[in-house]
Amino acid sequence: MRLSARNQISARVTGITYGEATANVAMDAGGTRLVASITVEAARELGLADGAEVIAVIKASDVIVAVPEVPRALAREEAPGSASAG
């Protein structure tokens, strides 16, 4: 198989949860957990099963960046212009 997509990650299937129309395929990619939602039909056609070696192909039009939340008390102490007790 040859693809133009560059975000290809080798992984191993660790579990499949089948719904009515969608199957959630859990994978281990070198210690990183990935989950793909695909149709039940696709999962069956691919013959997916626990332990199967697969390639996760990532296609994303957006990348969202997040930062951890700062506890509110700490945020008030560090807020610009806030007076600190001293």
Secondary structure of residue 7 in the 3-state scheme? coil
Q: What is the pLDDT of residues 46-58, one digit of tens each?
A: 999 999 999 999 8
Domains of the chain: which residue ranges?
8-78
Q: What is the pLDDT of residues 5-48, one digit of tens each?
A: 888 999 999 999 999 999 999 999 999 999 999 999 999 999 99
Question: Cα–Cα–Cα angle for 14, 44, 33, nearest 5°?
Answer: 20
Tell me the CATH number for domain 8-78.
Answer: 2.40.50.100
- Rounded Cα distance between 39 and 22, Å, is 4
Which ranges constitute the DSSP H helices of 15-86? 40-46, 72-78
